[in-house]
Structure formats: structure tokens, C-alpha cells
Amino acid sequence: MRIGFIGLGNMGSHMARHLIHAGHLVTVYDSRPEAAVEHLALGARWAETPAACATDAELLITMLPNPRVVEAVLLHGGAAEALPEGALWIDMSTSTPAAAERIATEVLDRRGVRRLDAPVSGMAHGAEAGRLQIFVGGTADDFRMCLPVFETLGDPDKVLHVGPLGAGYTVKLMINLLWFTHLVATSEVLAMGTKAGVDLGVLRSSLLASPAASHFLEHDVLSILVDGDYDDSFAMALACKDLGLAVDLGRDVGVATELSALVEQIYRRSRAHHGDLAGEMSPVRLYEALAGREFRLPNPTTAHDDAALSPV
């Protein structure tokens, strides 16, 4: 299949590589030509512009940092106008239904170009392993047609058709919003409990044995508790962008977002303290400061064993 791929960042670079290995004829574009060196060595073609990347594509995949860049590439970069009639655009960025709808209204609909929104979860390591979770919005027929491509990039058991156009964007924003909320709530509880004198490992084990257990507490927070890793693979600037999009969506659909807005404020405070490029789990550091200590478990082996034995 002839595939144009735009956006060779931390995740997109791995995704494009998997498509090349799967035997597709892949044309790549990124604002940084050096990002494509590996792909060209594997047999991909280089496009000088977004329009050139889309010109003869059966599928155009975009993996871009935000809705503004998606619109810039598709509209101002000419990719939407360059797509052949009958082609299909798959936006795998964390974007919004409104941005895609503007692109469709201005260009795609009159050119007979179909589209799917298919944002992903799994971070850079999931992209590298080809085990992403993919949440697809669009028609069932287009989803079925693109399923082999999605299964090249993601875990076949976690490639989900979640509804009509726009549903993929929404599901991804809700996943990120709830995960960031788990992070803030868990950090506050750990800070409060440990400052009140409870051992960190005992507190975590007690929470995991209770109805308050969560996947975040069992698995994700271990990167901090064991390794001191705040996940630099996903930057605070992007986390704040996603939170802003989620809060905006709540306003657009008329749902009050008091808690979500507070989580966004905490993330923005962490971004101001720790920088745009700090890891997405950096807000934990705000609560470590309140507790007067870093959250670290003294016995990493026990920490992993506890997680494996958790009832959750």
C-alpha cells in the first residue's frame, strides 16, 4: 500500500519504521529532515513538503503534536489538497473533532477524501515495540479496510473501533485526563500519608489491598518509586496541551470540569517549576516537596512483587 507518513517524532518515527518493515511503500515528511535518516536507509521515500508526501498516497497518516500543527500541515502545507480522490486520511495525533471537521469542511469533503481519527496510547516504548493501543473513530468499513495497518502499529487486541468520526479523539482525551487525575490524586495521598508518619511501602500496599487500588498505583507509579523516573519520553508541554484540550471539550459539550480544571492548574504549575521538557509525571515532585522527601521504596524487588500479587 502507498502510505504517506507525516510526523517523525518520538512515536511517529517508530510507527513509520514498522510500516516500512511490513512492506508498504512509505513516503515520509517531517519539519526536521534529519528525523528521516533511518527511514530513508530502510527504503522510504523523502517528501520535501507535506503536499508532496500526500500526492500519490492511498493512506496519509499524520502523527503530530497538536491540532494547530495538524491544521497547518493539512491546510497551509497543502497535504489535504494534494490527496488523490478516494484516498483516506488517518490522523493518529492527539487532536480534536473540531480541528478535523474544519479540515474536512474546507478541503476533504469536496475532494472525496475519507478520514479516520485514530489516536494512540502506549508512549514511545509501545510505539517502538509495535504494541500501541489505538482508538479509531469513523465508519466500520474504513476501519476494517485499515485494520491490517493498525495491527502493524498496535496490539491487535487493543485496536478498538470506538464509534463515529471524532470518537477516537474523545476517547484518547478522556484516557489522558483520567490518568493525569490519578497521578495528582495519588501524589496527594502519598504526601499526606507519609508526612503523617506512615511508611511509604506500607501505605502503598494498604491502598492496593483496598477498594482505592488503581492501575496507576500498582504499575505506573513504580517508575518513580523504584527508578526515580518521571517519564521524560512525554513532555510536560504536551501533557498540559492534552489537559487543555480535555477541559475545552468539557466546555464545548456543556459538562462542568471543576476537577479537571484543577488538575490542569496543578500540571501548569509543575510545568512552570520544572520546564516544558520535564517528564509528564513531574507533578509528583510538587508533592514530594510538600512531604519533605522523595517517594522511593527501599526494596525495589519487594515493590515489584507486591504489584504482581495485588488483587487489582
Give the integer Cα–Cα distance in Å for 37 and 231: 26
pTM to 2 decimals? 0.90
- Using the predicted structure, report yes or no on whether residue 114 has a pLDDT greater than 50: yes
Q: What is the pLDDT of residues 45-99, one digit of tens each?
A: 999 999 999 999 999 999 999 999 999 999 999 999 999 999 999 999 999 999 9
Instruction: Please give the pLDDT value at position 298.
Output: 87
Instruction: Over range 286-312, report the average pLDDT.
Output: 69
Q: What is the pLDDT of residues 138-174, one digit of tens each?
A: 999 999 999 999 999 999 999 999 999 999 999 999 9
Instruction: Please give the pLDDT value at position 125.
Output: 87
Helix, coil or strand: residue 7? coil
Q: What is the pLDDT of residues 196-233, one digit of tens each?
A: 999 999 999 999 999 999 999 999 999 999 999 999 98
- Using the predicted structure, report yes or no on whether residue 21 has a pLDDT greater than 80: yes
Instruction: Please give the pLDDT value at position 90.
Output: 98
Contact 100, 138 (CB under 8 A): no
Give the integer Cα–Cα distance in Å for 308 and 20: 36
Instruction: Please give the pLDDT value at position 233.
Output: 86
> Residue 280, class by beta-carbon neighbours within 10 Å (0-12 exposed, 13-18 middle, 19+ buried)?
buried
Residues 6+ apart with CB under 8 A from 115: 88, 89, 90, 91, 100, 104, 108, 138, 165
- Which residues are paired to 26 by β-bridges? 3
Instruction: Please give the pLDDT value at position 301.
Output: 55
285: confidence class by pLDDT, cuts 50, 70, 90: very high
Q: What is the pLDDT of residues 98-109, one digit of tens each?
A: 999 999 999 988
Instruction: Please give the pLDDT value at position 300.
Output: 59
Helix, coil or strand: residue 14? helix
273: confidence class by pLDDT, cuts 50, 70, 90: very high
Mean predicted lDDT score pLDDT of the chain: 94
Bigger pLDDT: 206 vs 307: 206
- Using the predicted structure, report yes or no on whether residue 304 has a pLDDT greater than 70: no
Rounded percentage of the chain residues whose pLDDT exceeds 70: 96
Question: Residue 162 has what DSSP assignment?
Answer: E
Residue bearing cell 488538575: 263
Closest by Cα among 161, 150, 158 to 18: 150
